[in-house]
Amino acid sequence: MSIKPSIKSVMEFMEWVNMYSGLFPYEVSAYFDMYRGQPNKKWKLEPSIVRYAKDKGLEKIYKSISNIENELIEQFEKYSTPYKNYRSATLLEKLIDGQHYGLPTRLLDWTTNPLKALYFSVEDTKFDNVDGTVYGFAATGLQGTKDVKLEDNHLEVFFPELLNERLSAQEGCFTSFPLPTSGFNVLPLSIKNYPESGENLEKVIVDAKAKVRIRVELSKLGINRRTIYPGLEGVAQSVKTDLSFYE
């Protein structure tokens, strides 16, 4: 995986994207299918269940990370009953909905829209003093929701059915990490760790000093909290951001 020197504008970012899009004069063997933005360049490509287990010290209580996810899903299903009945839902559907509402799961969010991935790398102002990053992933074996098997030793890449407005607005897709039934070792995503999952994985650094500028540029292109998070919450956050000059 190569790393491009940090970008400082949307235009510079799109130059990087175009390098892996097969657009003239660039020629590449593996085009990006999906993108992920992270506000801190030091973060690994790993699912939230991994960070949750470490931060909460759950490795001392449970015998495996798979057990932790099972308990989370069971409790999520139980207490969601007044709002939604998950009895007939598949495990994958529960994982997607749980991820949507902030439940730690084996899923890692991606988007097919590079500019929306860039937005996620600059969205949180708490990280304005830290370089962000955007990953581009040329995946293999892309599947639909019905084809995902959630196997113990296989990372899966899939485009879900659009189960909620936010997933649709964000043009979301996922990688599903295999969780061991014994222990807590979940390898972060890389071509080396999961050679069958993709042909290429690249990243570009987002300069911390340019994050405010990039938020302004993205908003002018129609990518902001109001469009990324449909509903009144997104509208309110967008208005608040506008009045504070994106800072």
Is-above-0.85 flag for pTM? Answer: yes
Cβ atoms of 127 and 210 closer than 8 Å: no
Mean pLDDT of 180-199: 93
* Cis before 104 (ω within 30): no
Strand-by-strand arrangement of the 156-159 sheet = 3-7, 198-206, 132-139, 34-38, 107-111, 172-176, 156-159, 143-144
pLDDT at 26 over 90: no
* Per-residue pLDDT at 25: 57
* Per-residue pLDDT at 234: 45
User: Would you place residue 154 in the very low, low, confident or very high pLDDT band (cuts 50, 70, 90)?
Assistant: confident
DSSP state for residue 124 in the 8-state scheme: -
* Per-residue pLDDT at 242: 58
* Per-residue pLDDT at 136: 95
pLDDT at 21 over 80: no
Collapse the DSSP code of 144 into the 3-class scheme (helix H, G, I; strand E, B; otherwise coil) and give the result.
strand
- DSSP, residue by residue, 43-56: --S--HHHHHHHHT
Alpha-carbon gap, residue 237 to 122, rounded angstroms = 15
Of residues 228 and 38, more confidence is placed in 38
Mean pLDDT of 180-205: 93
H-only helix segments in the chain: 10-19, 48-55, 65-79, 91-100, 114-122, 165-169, 211-220, 225-228, 232-243
* Per-residue pLDDT at 87: 86
